[in-house]
């Protein structure tokens, strides 16, 4: 059993989690871009020193994926997901009714939930991924993470690897790395109408909040 499949932390119902001081080292590391072996070692060291600080797990999982170590990538993501659920779920296993991205402290948790679901989709478990996407979207219908786009892609039966290629920015420094907001929003608004049972509640919530 590796360190990513051992027992998780004790359960808590807190939705806003205090970030430890180690976060300074973490964000300095992110600014450097995690380009060297030394940076990867520092990421691992941060994770070892503060196992309840979730931010490094997603980065380590992506790193393993980039190195074609799919088993390690999924193991890390699964561990981070379990930690995140333990942090947010109540004694009945229910997730919070609301967990806003606007709270900076919530973001590592929400990224861990999202990354695990995304890997499930990548590794041919779209129905399981969709279940998690739905739960994240219900907590944060403002959807700063773009969960709705991936959920729609699953409903349309699109492949994980290529579904968003038409929506990437074509020019400038972000070409091929970021979505064109207008393109992907127009696609969603058009295609989501095919699944009213999936998205009508969200449109109603947006109208209610004036979004």
Compute the CA torsion angle 202, 207, 208, 211 (nearest 10 deg): 90
Residues 145 and 96 in one domain: no
Q: Are 121 and 154 in contact (CB under 8 A)?
A: yes
Please indicate, yes or no, if residue 26 is contained in any of the structural domains: yes
Of 12 and 50, the structure prediction assigns the larger pLDDT to 50
Per-residue CA distances from 97 to 15, 136, 180, 198 (Å) = 10, 10, 30, 17
Residues 164 and 102 in one domain: no
Please indicate, yes or no, if residue 117 is contained in any of the structural domains: no
Of 21 and 106, the structure prediction assigns the larger pLDDT to 106
Please indicate, yes or no, if residue 149 is contained in any of the structural domains: yes
Residue 46 has a pLDDT of 74
Q: What sections of 90-209 are H helices per DSSP?
A: 107-122, 126-139, 147-155, 181-191, 196-209
Residues 187 and 94 in one domain: no
Q: Which residue has the tokens 């972000």?
A: 174
Please indicate, yes or no, if residue 181 is contained in any of the structural domains: yes
Read off the pTM: 0.79
Residue 21 has a pLDDT of 65
Residues 5 and 64 in one domain: yes
**Residues in the chain, total:** 211
Q: Which pair of structure tokens corresponds to residue 87?
A: 């942090």
pLDDT at 204 over 50: yes
Q: Measured in Å, how far apart are the chain's first and last C-alpha atoms?
A: 46
Around Cβ 207, how many Cβ atoms within 10 Å? Answer: 9
Please indicate, yes or no, if residue 18 is contained in any of the structural domains: yes
How do residues 121-155 score in pLDDT, each as one tens digit? 999 999 999 999 999 999 999 999 999 999 999 99
How do residues 72-88 score in pLDDT, each as one tens digit? 999 989 989 998 999 89
How do residues 15-31 score in pLDDT, each as one tens digit? 444 444 666 776 677 66
Residues 8 and 85 in one domain: yes
The C-alpha atoms of residue 146 and residue 110 are separated, in whole angstroms, by 12
Residue of 195, 207, 112, 102 whose CA lies nearest to 151: 195
Residues 86 and 183 in one domain: no
pLDDT at 103 over 50: yes
pLDDT at 3 over 60: no
Q: Which pair of structure tokens corresponds to residue 23?
A: 């976060």
Least confident of 49-53, 100-104, 182-186: 49-53
Please indicate, yes or no, if residue 8 is contained in any of the structural domains: yes
Q: Are 108 and 61 in contact (CB under 8 A)?
A: no
How do residues 25-68 score in pLDDT, each as one tens digit? 766 776 666 667 787 777 777 767 766 678 778 888 988 899 99
The C-alpha atoms of residue 88 and residue 110 are separated, in whole angstroms, by 10
Residues 95 and 159 in one domain: no
Residues 107 and 4 in one domain: yes
Residues 178 and 95 in one domain: no
What is the DSSP secondary structure assignment for residue 96, as one 8-state letter?
P
Please indicate, yes or no, if residue 193 is contained in any of the structural domains: yes
The C-alpha atoms of residue 66 and residue 145 are separated, in whole angstroms, by 21
The helix/strand/coil state of 47 is: helix
Residues 8 and 68 in one domain: yes
pLDDT at 89 over 90: yes
Among 68, 88, 112, identify where a domain stops: 112
Please indicate, yes or no, if residue 118 is contained in any of the structural domains: no
Residues 79 and 155 in one domain: no
Total tally of structural domains belonging to the chain: 2
The predicted model gives 3-25 an average pLDDT of: 45
Residues 108 and 128 in one domain: no
Domain that holds residue 136: 124-211
Among 89, 112, 135, identify where a domain stops: 112
pLDDT at 12 over 50: no
- List all residues 6 or more positions away from 50 whose beta carbon is below 8 Å from its beta carbon: 20, 22
pLDDT at 8 over 60: no
């Amino acid at each position: 059993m590796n360190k990513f499949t051992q027992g998780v932390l004790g359960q808590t119902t807190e939705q806003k989690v205090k970030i430890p001081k180690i976060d300074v080292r973490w964000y300095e590391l992110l600014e450097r871009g995690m380009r060297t072996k030394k940076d990867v070692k520092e990421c691992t060291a941060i994770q070892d020193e503060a196992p309840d600080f979730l931010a490094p797990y997603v980065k380590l999982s992506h790193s393993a994926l980039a190195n074609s170590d799919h088993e390690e990538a999924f193991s890390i993501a699964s561990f981070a997901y379990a930690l995140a659920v333990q942090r947010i779920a109540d004694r009945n296993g229910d997730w919070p009714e609301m967990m806003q991205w606007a709270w900076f402290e919530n973001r590592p948790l929400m990224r861990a939930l999202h990354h695990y679901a995304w890997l499930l989709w990548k590794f041919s478990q779209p129905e399981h991924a969709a279940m998690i996407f739905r739960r994240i979207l219900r907590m944060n219908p403002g959807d700063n993470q773009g969960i709705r786009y991936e959920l729609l892609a699953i409903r349309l039966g699109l492949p994980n690897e290529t579904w968003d290629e038409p929506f990437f920015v074509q020019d400038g420094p972000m070409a091929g790395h970021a979505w064109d907001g207008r393109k992907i929003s127009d696609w969603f608004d058009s295609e989501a109408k095919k699944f009213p049972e999936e998205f009508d509640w969200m449109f109603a919530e947006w109208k209610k909040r004036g979004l």
